[in-house]
């Protein structure tokens, strides 16, 4: 079979982690020095320089070989990680511009992966700390996934295979000499950032930038201009041989990264809920005044549960709540709001999969409901349709206003805040499903339980695809099915 005459366009960006996304090199250097000191061997920071990017086995083993020092490598690595993980919470931070570049790639439709020679325990800890947990990535490859480490190309080839792409369709962002060699050996474009090694040692890369904040999308896709002089900003580039200093570990200045923390997230989420309920209460107040005037001072019975009032109140409060959700995401100023909330495209394959999963859940729920002798359409929904008055307004409330507003808040704003906390993915799915279910006070306990289970499915879809756009569609589909069932069971939509 003839090879393609031209390589395909760039479709994925593979990031190294240490020295590219995080400033972890000095920390692992300090941890390794401490481990060797405990073993009775005094080593220097520069001893590790030739082994940067090759994984901790070679990072530690190479230095041991240099000094002809017998080392129990598995035990030494465990101890090094113990020391390192104690440093991470206080001293590790993300390189400025790294989250922006990652999310810009995702927003542009590029797939993103991490390919690090480090063990998974270190990768997970680092990514969680800098606000880019493993769930954010299309693939995460560790040194444990391959036999030959950098400068062998295996780890990057494995990443491309995991992404389902040819090597020519991938670009690598690296900081280390060994990483650049690995990327080029894999047949991939490589953009280097001179954050660990001086630019003079990175000349094998296709493009060199001083730091990751200087990397633009056009650089990754092959349209970058020649790099500016590293001295043009008055800063001195790293000096060969001392690129991994071990300065006193003092807490870094706070740098914005990632979403709001869990408590601000829940507090601001509560503020959105208050705005939603407050707007509905205001609508109900003016509604009551209008009815009182119409009926000469007397309110008709059941006016407060009118389907028409529900439609008007929902359509009026939805823009308010959505606006506050958007505002609170914007105020964080670390990510574009669309990325923060998860407005991302989803592949046709994923859309079909999750649609079928939802249809299966609805079918199973209806079967269980019938078996338990409960009505397919809750009494609340029946009454809402009987008293809807102008039914298109009710459709607008159920099929557009509710899915957009609720998903932006629960699977968007709150989900991402919990996801990036210590509670992680499990907490994000459970907490958002629980709060969302408890807001449906109009249903009985069985109905609330059903909403909770549906929330679990929506949460999993959000987690796997990173898209709130998909959960909005699934939410719309659920409400559409409920609407159709109401029509089928009761035969009319108005009084």
Cα angle: 402, vertex 396, 454; to 5 degrees: 35
Rounded to an integer, what distance in angstroms lies between the CA atom of residue 476 and that of residue 395?
11
Q: How many Å apart are CA 414 and CA 236, to the nearest integer?
A: 42
pLDDT digits (tens, 9 = 90+) for 323-340: 999 999 989 865 668 878
Q: Which residues of 110-149 are buried (b: 16+ CB within 10 A; e: fewer)?
A: bbbbbbbbbbeebbbbbbbbbbbbebbbbbbbbbeebeeb
Domain 12-220 has CATH 3.40.50.1000: yes
Could you tell me what percent of the chain has a pLDDT over 90?
Answer: 40
Q: Where are the alpha helices (DSSP H) in 108-176?
A: 120-129, 154-163
**Phi, psi dihedral angles at 378 (to 5 degrees):** -60, 155
Q: Where are the domains of the chain?
A: 12-220, 262-490
Coil, strand or helix at 223? coil
Q: Which of 26, 43, 169, 130 is nearest to 84 (CA)?
A: 26
Low-confidence ranges of the chain (pLDDT < 50): 1-7, 224-257, 492-495
pTM over 0.85: no
pLDDT in tens, 215-236: 999 999 875 444 443 333 333 3
Distances (CA, A) of 252 to 90, 93, 195: 8, 8, 17
233-263 pLDDT per residue, tens: 333 343 333 333 333 443 333 333 457 888 9
Backbone angles phi, psi at 377, to 5 degrees: -105, 115
């Amino acid at each position: 079979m003839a090879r393609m005459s031209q390589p395909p366009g760039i479709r994925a960006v593979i990031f190294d982690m240490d020295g590219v996304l995080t400033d972890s090199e000095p920390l692992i250097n300090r941890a390794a020095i401490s481990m060797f000191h405990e073993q009775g061997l005094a080593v220097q920071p520069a001893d590790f320089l030739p082994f940067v990017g090759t994984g901790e086995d070679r990072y530690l083993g190479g230095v041991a070989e240099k000094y002809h020092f017998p080392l129990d490598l598995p035990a030494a690595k465990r101890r090094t990680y113990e020391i390192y993980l104690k440093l991470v919470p206080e001293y590790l931070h993300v390189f400025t511009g790294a989250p922006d570049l990652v999310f810009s790639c995702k927003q542009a439709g590029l797939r993103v992966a991490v390919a690090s020679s480090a063990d998974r325990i270190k990768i997970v800890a680092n990514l969680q700390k800098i606000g880019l947990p493993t769930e954010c990535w299309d693939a995460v490859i560790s040194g444990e996934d391959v036999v030959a480490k950098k400068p062998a190309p295996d780890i990057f080839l494995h990443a491309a295979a995991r992404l389902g792409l040819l090597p020519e369709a991938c670009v690598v962002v690296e900081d280390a000499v060994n990483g650049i060699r690995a990327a080029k050996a894999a047949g991939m474009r490589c953009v280097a950032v001179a954050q660990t090694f001086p630019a003079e040692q990175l000349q094998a890369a296709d493009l060199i930038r001083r730091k990751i904040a200087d990397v633009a999308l056009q650089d990754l896709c092959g349209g970058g201009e020649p790099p500016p002089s590293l001295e043009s900003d008055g800063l001195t580039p790293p000096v060969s041989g001392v690129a991994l200093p071990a300065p006193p570990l003092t807490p870094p200045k706070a740098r914005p990264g990632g979403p709001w923390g869990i408590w601000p997230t829940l507090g601001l989420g509560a503020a959105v809920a208050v705005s939603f309920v407050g707007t509905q209460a205001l609508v109900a107040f003016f509604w009551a005044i209008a009815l009182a005037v119409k009926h000469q001072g007397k309110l008709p019975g059941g006016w407060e549960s009118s389907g028409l009032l529900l439609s008007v109140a929902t359509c009026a409060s939805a823009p308010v709540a959505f606006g506050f959700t958007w505002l609170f995401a914007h105020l964080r100023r670390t990510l574009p709001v669309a990325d923060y909330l998860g407005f991302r495209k989803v592949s046709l394959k994923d859309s079909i999969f999750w649609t079928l999963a939802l249809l299966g859940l609805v079918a199973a729920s209806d079967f269980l409901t019938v078996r338990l002798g409960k009505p397919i359409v809750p009494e609340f929904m029946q009454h809402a349709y009987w008293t809807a008055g102008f039914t298109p307004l009710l459709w607008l409330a159920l099929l557009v206003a509710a899915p957009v507003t609720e998903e932006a808040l629960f699977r968007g704003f709150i989900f991402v805040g919990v996801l990036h906390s210590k509670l992680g993915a499990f907490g994000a799915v459970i907490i958002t499903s629980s709060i969302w279910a408890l807001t449906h006070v109009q249903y009985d306990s069985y109905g609330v339980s059903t909403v909770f289970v549906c929330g679990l499915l929506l949460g999993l879809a959000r987690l796997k695809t990173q898209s709130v756009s998909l959960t909005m569609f699934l939410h719309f589909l659920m409400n559409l099915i409920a609407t159709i069932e109401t029509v089928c069971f009761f035969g009319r939509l108005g009084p």
